[in-house]
Structure 1
Amino acid sequence: MSGYALFQMWEPFRRSLIDGHLFYVEQARKRLLSQFDDIEAEAEKAAEEWLERSSNRFDPDRHDPGDFYEAANQAGIEFYGLLSDMRDRTRLSVVAGMFHEWDKQLRDWLVREVQHWHRGKGVAQKVWSADFGQIAELLESLGWKVRGQGYHAKLDACRLVVNVYKHGEGKSLDDLQHKYPEYLEAPFSGFSGTVSDMKYRDHTHLRVSDDQFQAFADAIVAFWRGVPENVFDSQIAEVPDWFGKAILNDRAGQRQATKK
C-alpha cells in the first residue's frame, strides 16, 4: 500500500498497551477481587462470632436455644449479603477503571496521530468529546470495520454497564435493558412469570460476573490487536462529518490568524 501513513500503530507501543492492560486485570484479581473468594466461610464465621458474643445473654430457663441459633444464622445471612454487595461493587469499579483507561488511551492515540499531519486544537477537542458511536464511525472511515468484530459488542456493553454504574437511571440503562439484559440481574429470579420481566430491572440490579469481567478484558486485548499497523491516506475516501468539519474549522482559523 502506497501513500502517506496518517495513522500508525507502532508494534512496541501496541505491546505496551496490551501488557499494561493485562497487568491491571491480573493485579485487580490478585489484590482486590481475591478478597471475596470465600465469603461463604466468612459468613459462617460471622454467625459463629455472633453466637459467641451472645452466649452470655442465654438463660436456659427463659430462652429457647433454637431462637439463638436462628438469630446467629440470620446474622450470617446479613453478613453474606453485605459482603456480596461489596464484591459486586468492587468488580464494577474495576470494570469502570479498565474501560475508562482503554477509552482514554484510544482517544489519546488518535489525537497524537492526527497531530503528525494536522495543526489545530479543534480536532483534538472533538475526538475527546465524541461519543462511542462517533469514535467507531471514525475508525470505520479509516478502513477498520470495528463494528463487524466480536469485541465491539462487548466494548459497547461494557460502556453501558459503566455508565449505568456511574449514573443509575437514564438512556444507558434503557439501552442496556434492550441490548444486553444479561447484565441486569432478574429480581425474584426464583419465581416464574412477570415478576422477572425486564421492566422490573433497574440500576440496582446491575451485575457483572467474573466471566463477564474476563470477557470485557479479552475484548480490549482483541481491540488493540486489531488496530491496523498503518492507515494510508489512499485508504480513506470520506471521514465523518464531525471530524471533517473540525479539520476545516482548524484550517479556517489558521488562515484567519495569518491575515492578522
Structure 2
Amino acid sequence: MWFDTCGEGERRGFDAGRAKEMVDGHGDPRQLQRPAGGSVIISMSAFAKYTVVLDSQIVRGVHNCVLYRDGQSLMSDEDLPRYSDPVVCFGSWNMSRFGSPIQHYADILKSRVMPIFDDLDGEQKRAADEVLNASYWGPDDYGTAIEAAYEHSREHTLQFTELRTVFLATGVAGLFHLFEKQLYRFLNHELRQNLVKKIDRWEDAAAAIEALDRPRCADSGQTALQLAFNAPAIKELRLVANVVKHGEGRSYDDLKAMGARVVDPERFKDNFTIGPHSVLGVTLAIDSDDIERYVKALLFFWSLKVSVIRRPRTEG
C-alpha cells in the first residue's frame, strides 16, 4: 500500500497513524523491523499480509518503494512509484468513512421518506372526507357535496403523486451531491502534497483520476479507479442530478444517448407526474430500482482496495 510521496531530505511517506487504521489488530505498523540489507518491512494484515518494502534510505530522501506478496512483486518497474509521483490509496477504511453515509442516506430515502407517499387510496379518502365533513353543506346539498369531494380528492391526489416524484428526484440528486462532496474531500486529502489548488469541480476530479494512470488493468487499459469512476451508473446519476437542477438540456440529451432507464419512453406511458408541465418540469422517470443501481456503483467505488499513481511522461 502506497503512502504519500517522500520529499528530499525528509520522510513524509509513512503516516503511522493512518497506517494503523489499515491493520486489523494483528500488528502495529509503527513497529518497524530492519532485517539484513537495511530495508524497512511493514506487514499489512488487512491487505492479505502484503509487505511494503521501502528502501532504508527513504528517510534520507531516496525514493524506491516496492509492493510484494509472497515474495513476488505485484507491479512492474513501470508501475513503481517514485518520490514525485502523486499517489491515491484506497482501502477498507473508505467504506466506513464514505460508504456508510451513502448507504444510510439511501436507507432514509427509501424507508423513511418515500413511504410517506405509499397510501394513495388513504390520501384520496382523507381529501374527500375533508370536503364532505365541511359545515357549510345543507340537507339538500348531497349531490353537490359528492361532486365537490370527488373533484377535490382528485386534484389533491394528483398533487400528492407529483410531490412524490419531486421528492424522489431531488433525493437522487442529493445522493449524487453527497458522493461528489466525498470525492472532493478524498482527492484533496490524498493529493494534498501535489495539488496547485483544491479540487472543487467535477471536471477537476475527473481530470485528476484520469491522470492517475498506473497500474492499468490488462484487459481495459484503465486503472481500477478509472473503471469504477467511469461506471455507467455513476455517469447516469450525475446526469440525473444535473437534469433535476437545470431541466432538459445537454445532460438530458446525454442520458438519452446512453440509453439510460430514467428516460426510457416505456416508463413515460400514463405517467402524468413528469414532463415540461409537471411540478418536476422534466420528463424523467426514476424508481427505487434506479436508486439501488446508483448506490451499488457508489459503494463499489468506495470498496476499492487499490493504490494508483501518476507516472509523468518522459520526453522521448
TM-score (norm 1): 0.69
CA distance in 1, matches of 2:231, 2:130: 48
What corresponds to 1:245 in structure 2? none
Contact 1:92-1:165 at 8 Å conserved across structures? yes
CA distance in 2, matches of 1:199, 1:75: 24
What corresponds to 2:284 in structure 1? 206
What corresponds to 1:87 in structure 2? 164
CA distance in 2, matches of 1:6, 1:71: 67
CA distance in 1, matches of 2:129, 2:116: 20
What corresponds to 1:216 in structure 2? 294
Residues 1:157 and 2:230 are matched in the alignment: no
State how 1:31-110 maps to structure 2 within 5 Å: 31-53=112-134, 56-60=136-140, 65=143, 67-110=144-187
- Which of 196, 205, 217 is matched with 1:121 structurally? 196
The structure-2 alpha-carbon separation of the partners of 1:20 and 1:69, relative to structure 1 and needing over 3 Å to count, comes to same
Amino acid at match of 1:152: A
Amino acid at match of 1:100: H
Residues 1:229 and 2:302 are matched in the alignment: no
Contact 2:89-2:190 at 8 Å conserved across structures? yes
Classify the secondary structure of the residue corresponding to 1:53. Answer: coil
What stretches of structure 1 of length at least 5 have no aligned partner?
192-197, 240-260
CA distance in 1, matches of 2:260, 2:214: 30
Percent identity between the aligned chains? 23
CA distance in 1, matches of 2:245, 2:160: 20
CA distance in 2, matches of 1:149, 1:129: 15
What stretches of structure 2 of length at least 5 have no aligned partner?
1-73, 217-222
Classify the secondary structure of the residue corresponding to 1:121. Answer: coil
Amino acid at match of 1:107: Y
- CA shift, 1:96, in A, is 1.5
Contact 2:87-2:191 at 8 Å conserved across structures? yes
Higher helix share: 1
Moved more, 22-31 or 42-51: 22-31
Q: Deviations over 1:159-215 (max 9, x none)?
A: 111101101132112222332453247597259xxxxxx999995222311221222
- CA shift, 1:158, in A, is 0.9
- CA shift, 1:105, in A, is 1.2
State how 1:177-192 maps to structure 2 within 5 Å: 177-180=256-259, 182-184=261-263, 189-190=269-270
What corresponds to 2:254 in structure 1? 175
Amino acid at match of 1:166: K
- CA shift, 1:20, in A, is 1.6
The structure-2 alpha-carbon separation of the partners of 1:64 and 1:31, relative to structure 1 and needing over 3 Å to count, comes to closer
- CA shift, 1:8, in A, is 0.9
The structure-2 alpha-carbon separation of the partners of 1:189 and 1:150, relative to structure 1 and needing over 3 Å to count, comes to farther
CA distance in 1, matches of 2:234, 2:289: 15
Amino acid at match of 1:86: L
CA distance in 2, matches of 1:19, 1:145: 21
- CA shift, 1:228, in A, is 3.7
Q: Deviations over 1:108-164 (max 9, x none)?
A: 212221224x2x524x34x63526764663466663256656981111111111101
Amino acid at match of 1:209: D
CA distance in 2, matches of 1:41, 1:69: 17
Contact 2:169-2:244 at 8 Å conserved across structures? yes
* Larger RCO, structures 1/2 (Cα 8 Å, 6+ apart): 1
Matched length = 221
